[in-house]
Structure 1
Amino acid sequence: MQKIHILIILAILFVVNRDSYADGLLSVKYIEQKPFSLSAETVSTWKKEGIRVFVAHKEAKVLQAPFQITADTIVCWFHEEEAIQSKEATVEVYCEGNVTILQDENYEKYEQVYLRFETMTGVVVNPYTQPIKTFEEAQKTEVVLRGEEIRSRKEEEYLSHEIPKKVLTSDTPEKQEIVDIIADNIDSWQEEDKRIVVALGNVKINKKDAAIDADNVILWFDQKKSEDSEYSELPLSAIYAEGNVMMRRKDDMLIADKIFENIEEDKGILINSQIKTILQPQKQGAIRDESQKGKSEYLEGLPVYVSGEQIKHVDKGQYEIKNGVITTCGYGHPHYHFKGKKIRLIQRGKHNIISSTNNTFHVGSYPMGYLPYLSLDVRKKEKILRNWEFGSSSRFGSFLSTDWDLFAITGGSQKDWSDLIFSLDYLQERGLGAGINFEYRGQDAYGFLDTYYIKDKGEFDINDIPVEDEDRGSILWRHRQELPYDFRLDMEYSYLSDPRFLREFFRHEFKEEKDRETVLYLRRIHDTTAQTFLINEQLNGFDTTVDSLREKRYAERLPELTYQIIGEPIWDNRLIFTSESSATHFDSSLDRIDEPVQPQSVIRLDNVNRITMPWKPGFFNINPFVEGRVTGYSESIDTSGPNDEPNGPATGRFIGSLGFDWSSTHWRTYSVYNDFLRINRLRHIFVPELRYVYNPVVTEDPNTFYQYDEIDAQDSSQIVVIGVKNMLQTKRGEPGFEKNVDFVYFNLEYYIFPTDAGIFNDGINGIVIREDNFVNLDFRCKLTDIVTFVSERNEFNTEEFRFDVLSSGFEIYNPPKWQYFVGHRFIRDISSTLILAADYQISEKWSVAAREMYDFKSLDTDDTDDDGESDPKNLRTNFILSRYFHDWVASLTLELDPVRNDSSYRFDISPKGLQRTRNRFWF
């Protein structure tokens, strides 16, 4: 066996080339490779000293993924000459007024922001209502001057919550609004104090807040105070347009046969008209978790149409329609629509509120339902019925599941900071279920409340476990609050009616989300210190993952206090000091199975200190360390007394540790070319590593203590980890636009336990003890732009010289048309599973997806033969056919689930981009 160890060590070290090396390598996707865009209602520009300046007003937005900034006004200084001479150019951005910085699901708010961006793609500018206005001279407005003053400080960034102060501007006379008129024939004359302009044939009119196309247009200008001005510079008082009229305002579009607008009074009338208003993206914020990312991207830009024979413009942003139609279908004859006796459209700031009375819902020309009153804020992508589905299951019988947006019925400002969804379900075999999902977010806080209740008529759960109580349900509340002085508070409350409720009705949450618990967690991180306060109690009285194969016992902490010093330099930065002290009161613990020794209420005091001495001789990085841990317990496990007491006296122990980390980064470039694999030279990056940890001093056996976490399980041990990370990079892409591609990634780590004590980890399945020497292998090869071979998280047991875990598969990825995966995962003595997956976009309207998991060696004891061998078993099969409508997705799903002894079909309809509020039942 020692020969095997030596051979593996030599194989690892053999790949290390000593002739070339580098101190470090930065391998990230730089933000400058992302497109930089600026958009707003109006944009003006000028050029000065090689810098192009853009000023964006009203609903201004800067986007360079993953960052997005919105503000009332944005000024950009684009170094245009720099962009011509090099691939990268600088864009300086100054934002003012209601500034929101978004990154993924997180956001921050300010009043003034100055940032510097780098771009390799230039600047894309998109004004909403009219072309970019170009000036010959710089415009010295207040915003520009404030931005110039901050630029002069030469700072990388400037963030302020203070409202900007007024500044003096040059005495530039205010110009009247310019109205651009283009037509085949234009005539003009004056009547009293009005200048009348008649434009005939292919008329195009652009003004500050609107653009109009029509066959013929008449315009009335007020010439009371401007006798000598051109008519295009006079105040516009009224406009009449006819023939294929199209008026664009911000995100709205008005289409009509005839339009008359009194600009001065903000009134008018539209004949045979239709108003098309665009749904706006919802204000982003971290409202839940990473699984919610991207759920609204498909709805952005979705139109809503309001039409009627006559639409009256009764006031600023207010329209009235009699016997009108509301729909999101853009066809001339919509597939579905609401007919309302009296419809009102009110546009206020960020809201477009439609209210209607005496409504009938039509599919085609057939009435399907009646609604006496309807109110929607269509700018907030609202749907009353968020999704619905029906089908049949061998376990649940026929079923109907629906999610309703309660706020969508009333509209209002609460939609800006919250969502309220009502779930109503019917299961033929189990009964009626209902729940409320309330999500909220603010500047410094966000969270959600989930509730669900079902009066269960069933007699048995999965695996034929009897249902003891028909009243079943759950309550889950999670909240995060950002506090002053770097404090953050996380709170969670969880209630479950019984241990099997989640597995029976919410399998997705049971398998993939964190454990349900009741927690109060307060933390503060400042500089190199951190303080935490934790109260963790299981009010349910049982482990919420009781039906899983988890080995971990649930330990209640009432409470736990910790203080940490993280990487504090000492002795002129020669040493790094790290420390953690904790005081924990373990009230009780909950096990999946009964233990011979029942844990008692225990107080544990723990302190661990580590001193590291970073050392860099030549191109090596060496970090030797010494560590000492002192742990005290108020009680111990001691049954040696005459009275056979279940607990012993107070005790404690000391653990002394030492070790080091060694690594070095090397690289070499090879002139290798291959057309088939698209290899354009190769760069080999390799990082050898060596870690050694030794606990020579352990004053007490861990079996003396109650085992709550990995601190209690530590014992005398030696661990040696020898590894090497290899990466082969090449360039792919069109000439001049090549990008670095990780062609091959290969990571190898060899874990050696000289004293056979193993390694202790507090993992997903509790305290995991690994005693056999093993090699961890990860391999990934991007064969082409669409084909990748993956073999990750493999474990080779060198004691028995065989694989404990082996996985491999091919990813074939060519979005959006198709993607496939074929893979196999082997876990010794447990399973040997074949995994197949495919997604194919048949056309713009149809797609199909299929999944298959088949285990050739199931651990299920019911399938075990008399000779100890397991029979093959199908784990899961499903097939999904989807049809994409204008703003809805309809899916038909067929599924076989032998593990749950269930076969089902279901049909569901959901708005594009909106995931289900809750994953109920078996999906």
Structure 2
Amino acid sequence: MTAKPLRAFVLVLVLLSLSTLTLRAQVAEPGTKPAEGTPKQEEKGVLTWDTPARILHYEDRPGRLYMLGDVETELDGRYLRCDNLIAWVRKGDQRRPPGNAPGIIKGTGEKARKAADFITELYAEGFVVYVDKKGETIFCDRLFLDVAHERGIAIDATLSAPLQTRDGKSDLVVKAAELRILAGNRIQGSGVKVWVGRFGRPFTHVTSDRMEFVKRPPSAIDPDDPNRRSSYRIDAQGNVLRAGQLPVMWLPDFTWDSEVQHGFGLIESIRARHSSEFGYEAGVSIGDDIQFEEGRRWGHWSVHADWYSKRGPGVGVDLVYDDDDYRGLLYTRYQYDEGEDENFGRPPTRNRGRVSWWHRHQLPEGVQLDLELQLFSDRGYYPTYFEDQEKGLKPPENLVYLKKVFFNSMVSGLASARINDWFTRVEHQPELRYDLVTEPLFDLFDHPLYLSVEARGGHARLIPDERLVLEDRDSWRIDVDTLLEYAFPVGPFKLTPFAGLRYTYYEEDLIRRTDRDRVGFTSGATVSLQAWRVWDTDGGLFNLDGLRHVIIPEITFRNTTGIAARPMQLIPFDEVETFDNLQAFELRLRNLLQTVRQREDGPEVDTFVDLELEIPYFPNPRDNFGNPWGNLDVDLLVRFSDDLQLVTDLEFNWYGRDFEVANVAVGYTPSRELQAYAGYRHFDGEYDAVFFQINHRIDEKWMITLETSYDIKEDRGIDQRVAFTRIGPEWVAQLGLRIDAGENDFGIFISLEPRWLFDPILRPGLVSGEPRLNYLGSGFGQ
């Protein structure tokens, strides 16, 4: 790929983004999650609220109640929070809220004041949070409910529901472009992303064109059984396994029932393959559930036995456990090794292995405890035997982490220690932290002023790898970062000015000067707009049935000044030390092209082009290595039809005149029997390759898969694989040939695996490193 076609491609994307045809704008305030313990209502159609909205407007005819601004209500035991709400009242039953005349109603602070009876329909918009009577939670952009008939529709929705599977308790999470609530226990979704797990969406996940799941109530055979639980049946069509946003492979349509018990026995998998580093490999895994009470599953154990012709025998034991208040994973391996590592040479010992343990415990008063323990035999074992984990997961750590979450704030404590000398780590001995997220202080001119705070303090110690022959450095550190935000509409725009002050104290800096202070002041503003226009058109390349163009431009200016202690003068513990003087504009532009598609269940809105551009501008080029413009990020999705889609992820360097990152993927899925994927991946100076995959389902029981990839930069094939798959009622058997010229690996592989449709086992990849990478972490605000 030459520079001229690449620049031309970027120019086309930019021109497309500049076609900004505007009809109207919408502005939404930040939303928050629901409080717990809201009381249920018994009378159908009763709408109540604890805290009144900023504006209440009631019309006798045609019987509508308007609630505008920070709405928090209940409807027959359902919790609902949104920016704005409109409720319709059944004719003949319209009533004014007691003690108020039609028009603007000022809140009186009366708890659960009755607004209207006999609500029949309801529309909510803007960061909607909806919790139904069964505890399922839907987060969406817009929601319409037909209260009388128990049905509705949610746009840009995320549904979370508790799920009991063979692998224990977990959460079923469905993120959909559209969710249809067809009955109290039946929901259909289109444009679905689905995963199972409490730790957020993993990097690899499944997308489905269409999914329906039905919740069944607990069995009535033994109503006094405390282990009675609801079950789910899930039907999914048009399934694709994805790595991030890129399609990896097609998955067959499936139906899954959480009550069905699969009789796999003790055998979990049988495997055989060959590689240049390990030689011939053969392995088997066995396992079973652990039940402490009749019918109650506490955990699952697995034993893995492997043999490598160039290394020797190995064995491992895994334990996954999950109870009402805690869950975790113990992962152990032992390897007798007579070989030599490709990148680390001969190991210092023949007895190699690891012990890894992750544990999460919910203590009284809503306190959460996380524990992590990581022990390895030597420097080369982990990256040699677990290369994918070493490259894809957070660095292994040894830590204790406590946190207590309130409505929109959190206090936490972290203590960590390095055990293996070959890791460069920062020990916290310990660190305490307080976070406050968008707390409304008071109203200014009918709009709230929000405060956010991040404060931390403790003793940190930087310990380098022993081979670097560098001394350890430590210091006491206190850091307080505050930010004020005030969002308000200006015509069709939403303007959010902000200002913040950050103070940091260091006991010692990099050159051993003591009692260092760092003060920085940040100010700026964000202006955004959401506008659209509709055309009555049809046909064409995308088979249009009407056309809507949505444009969402956003500009943020950020100015940080007053910092005297620069990053190069401080001990580099973590991201706190990167705070520096800066002036920058962040320019974002998103364009959506939408039309109506006729589906089996009726017409649906379909986004067939989604283009997002983002680029920073630095008025002072010294803030960006002498260049005023940063890299241009381009994300593009084009759906030519339900069968043909194009996805791109590009990062263009204006000054290098080239793409630093370029990922392009095309998927063609004309039927269940044939799926094809092709793509191009480019990382400047490291990787430049094309790949192709085709899956052909010969019949209901047999499938053939062909994969190939080629490195353009190295002028060689990377990985070629052909596999035949036999899909049985309880097992999936696979036989294939794999060649990797780059790693000099080749051989025949055989695998037998049970037909797991969901696997919510707590694996290392799902433990998200909350104490280090994301303090708010999964479950914040729950």
Structure 2 match to 1:617: 490
* Residues 1:513 and 2:393 aligned together: yes
Mapped to 2, the partners of 1:23 and 1:289 lie a distance apart of: 28
Equivalent residues of 2:651, 2:661 under 8 A apart: yes
* Residues 1:15 and 2:19 aligned together: yes
Equivalent residues of 2:611, 2:635 under 8 A apart: yes
Structure 1 match to 2:457: 583
Structure 1 match to 2:568: 703
Equivalent residues of 2:22, 2:532 under 8 A apart: no
- CA deviation after TM superposition for structure 1 residue 830, in Å: 2.7
Mapped to 2, the partners of 1:592 and 1:835 lie a distance apart of: 40
Alpha-carbon displacement from aligned partner over 1:240-261 (angstroms, at most 9, x marks no partner) = xxxxxxxxxxxxxxxxxxxxxx
Mapped to 1, the partners of 2:300 and 2:519 lie a distance apart of: 53
Structure 1 match to 2:632: 775
Mapped to 1, the partners of 2:28 and 2:598 lie a distance apart of: 26
Map 1:571-650; keep pairs closer than 5 Å.
Answer: 571-572=442-443, 574-591=448-465, 594=468, 598-638=471-511, 647-650=512-515
Mapped to 1, the partners of 2:29 and 2:720 lie a distance apart of: 44
Identify the match of residue 432 of structure 1 among 293, 297, 313. 313
SS at match of 2:576: helix
Map 1:156-167; keep pairs closer than 5 Å.
Answer: none
Do the aligned partners of residues 788 and 402 (structure 1) sit closer, same or farther apart at CA in structure 2, a change above 3 Å counting? same
Identify the match of residue 501 of structure 1 among 356, 372, 381. 381
Mapped to 2, the partners of 1:431 and 1:631 lie a distance apart of: 53
- CA deviation after TM superposition for structure 1 residue 667, in Å: 0.8
Mapped to 2, the partners of 1:732 and 1:523 lie a distance apart of: 47
Mapped to 2, the partners of 1:576 and 1:486 lie a distance apart of: 26
Alpha-carbon displacement from aligned partner over 1:90-136 (angstroms, at most 9, x marks no partner) = 9xxxxxxxxx9439999699xxxxxxxx96645899xxxxxxxxxxx
Mapped to 1, the partners of 2:670 and 2:638 lie a distance apart of: 16
Structure 2 match to 1:657: 522
Mapped to 1, the partners of 2:384 and 2:612 lie a distance apart of: 40
The residue identity in structure 2 corresponding to 1:795 is E
Equivalent residues of 1:533, 1:561 under 8 A apart: yes
Map 1:680-695; keep pairs closer than 5 Å.
Answer: 680-695=545-560
Larger deviation, residues 433-442 vs 896-905 = 896-905
SS at match of 1:485: helix
Mapped to 1, the partners of 2:565 and 2:755 lie a distance apart of: 61
Mapped to 1, the partners of 2:498 and 2:655 lie a distance apart of: 29
Do the aligned partners of residues 349 and 577 (structure 1) sit closer, same or farther apart at CA in structure 2, a change above 3 Å counting? closer
- CA deviation after TM superposition for structure 1 residue 609, in Å: 1.1
Alpha-carbon displacement from aligned partner over 1:157-187 (angstroms, at most 9, x marks no partner) = xxxxxxxxxxxxxxxxxxxxxxxxxxxxxxx
Do the aligned partners of residues 464 and 82 (structure 1) sit closer, same or farther apart at CA in structure 2, a change above 3 Å counting? closer
Do the aligned partners of residues 635 and 508 (structure 1) sit closer, same or farther apart at CA in structure 2, a change above 3 Å counting? same
Q: TM-score, normalised by structure 1?
A: 0.56
Identify the match of residue 484 of structure 1 among 339, 343, 364. 364
Alpha-carbon displacement from aligned partner over 1:668-687 (angstroms, at most 9, x marks no partner) = 11112115522111111111
The residue identity in structure 2 corresponding to 1:668 is R
Identify the match of residue 912 of structure 1 among 755, 765, 771. 755
Map 1:389-404; keep pairs closer than 5 Å.
Answer: 389-404=271-286
SS at match of 1:712: helix
Structure 2 match to 1:444: 325
The residue identity in structure 1 corresponding to 2:21 is N
Do the aligned partners of residues 11 and 293 (structure 1) sit closer, same or farther apart at CA in structure 2, a change above 3 Å counting? closer
Map 1:876-895; keep pairs closer than 5 Å.
Answer: 876-895=719-738
- CA deviation after TM superposition for structure 1 residue 414, in Å: 8.4
* Residues 1:715 and 2:776 aligned together: no
- CA deviation after TM superposition for structure 1 residue 698, in Å: 1.2
* Residues 1:824 and 2:680 aligned together: yes
SS at match of 2:619: coil
Mapped to 1, the partners of 2:380 and 2:265 lie a distance apart of: 33
The residue identity in structure 1 corresponding to 2:506 is Y
Structure 2 match to 1:568: 439
Equivalent residues of 1:492, 1:517 under 8 A apart: yes
Do the aligned partners of residues 875 and 420 (structure 1) sit closer, same or farther apart at CA in structure 2, a change above 3 Å counting? same
Map 1:214-233; keep pairs closer than 5 Å.
Answer: none
Structure 1 match to 2:355: 475
- CA deviation after TM superposition for structure 1 residue 9, in Å: 14
Alpha-carbon displacement from aligned partner over 1:177-200 (angstroms, at most 9, x marks no partner) = xxxxxxxxxxxxxxxxxxxxxxxx
Mapped to 1, the partners of 2:147 and 2:498 lie a distance apart of: 52
Equivalent residues of 1:386, 1:404 under 8 A apart: yes
Larger deviation, residues 565-574 vs 622-631 = 565-574
Mapped to 2, the partners of 1:777 and 1:602 lie a distance apart of: 41
SS at match of 1:510: helix
Do the aligned partners of residues 648 and 12 (structure 1) sit closer, same or farther apart at CA in structure 2, a change above 3 Å counting? farther
The residue identity in structure 2 corresponding to 1:495 is L
- CA deviation after TM superposition for structure 1 residue 558, in Å: 2.1
Do the aligned partners of residues 69 and 120 (structure 1) sit closer, same or farther apart at CA in structure 2, a change above 3 Å counting? closer
The residue identity in structure 2 corresponding to 1:807 is N
Structure 2 match to 1:165: none
Structure 2 match to 1:902: 745
- CA deviation after TM superposition for structure 1 residue 378, in Å: 9.9
Mapped to 2, the partners of 1:437 and 1:380 lie a distance apart of: 21
SS at match of 2:348: coil
- CA deviation after TM superposition for structure 1 residue 291, in Å: 7.9
Map 1:743-758; keep pairs closer than 5 Å.
Answer: 743-758=608-623
Structure 2 match to 1:232: none
Alpha-carbon displacement from aligned partner over 1:368-419 (angstroms, at most 9, x marks no partner) = xxxxxxxxx99464521111122433332333201111558x9974871111
* Residues 1:806 and 2:629 aligned together: no
Map 1:186-205; keep pairs closer than 5 Å.
Answer: none
Mapped to 2, the partners of 1:581 and 1:836 lie a distance apart of: 49
- CA deviation after TM superposition for structure 1 residue 439, in Å: 0.7
Q: Which runs of 5+ in 1 are unaligned?
A: 27-64, 72-78, 91-99, 110-117, 126-283, 295-299, 301-347, 351-376, 544-552, 639-646, 761-768, 858-870
Structure 2 match to 1:240: none
- CA deviation after TM superposition for structure 1 residue 666, in Å: 0.3
Q: TM-score, normalised by structure 2?
A: 0.66
Map 1:250-265; keep pairs closer than 5 Å.
Answer: none
Do the aligned partners of residues 107 and 631 (structure 1) sit closer, same or farther apart at CA in structure 2, a change above 3 Å counting? same
The residue identity in structure 2 corresponding to 1:785 is D
Q: Decide which structure has the larger Cα Rg and report it.
A: 1
Equivalent residues of 1:824, 1:834 under 8 A apart: yes
Structure 1 match to 2:410: 530
Equivalent residues of 2:630, 2:653 under 8 A apart: yes
Aligned length, in residue pairs: 576
Mapped to 2, the partners of 1:825 and 1:422 lie a distance apart of: 38
Mapped to 2, the partners of 1:736 and 1:416 lie a distance apart of: 39
SS at match of 1:463: coil
Larger deviation, residues 910-919 vs 534-543 = 910-919
Equivalent residues of 1:287, 1:439 under 8 A apart: no
Alpha-carbon displacement from aligned partner over 1:287-313 (angstroms, at most 9, x marks no partner) = 99858989xxxxx9xxxxxxxxxxxxx
SS at match of 2:473: coil
The residue identity in structure 1 corresponding to 2:704 is V
Mapped to 2, the partners of 1:292 and 1:677 lie a distance apart of: 29
Alpha-carbon displacement from aligned partner over 1:320-347 (angstroms, at most 9, x marks no partner) = xxxxxxxxxxxxxxxxxxxxxxxxxxxx
In percent, how many aligned pairs have the same letter?
21
Mapped to 2, the partners of 1:782 and 1:483 lie a distance apart of: 48
SS at match of 2:411: strand
Mapped to 2, the partners of 1:652 and 1:80 lie a distance apart of: 59
Identify the match of residue 554 of structure 1 among 425, 432, 435. 425
Mapped to 2, the partners of 1:292 and 1:778 lie a distance apart of: 19
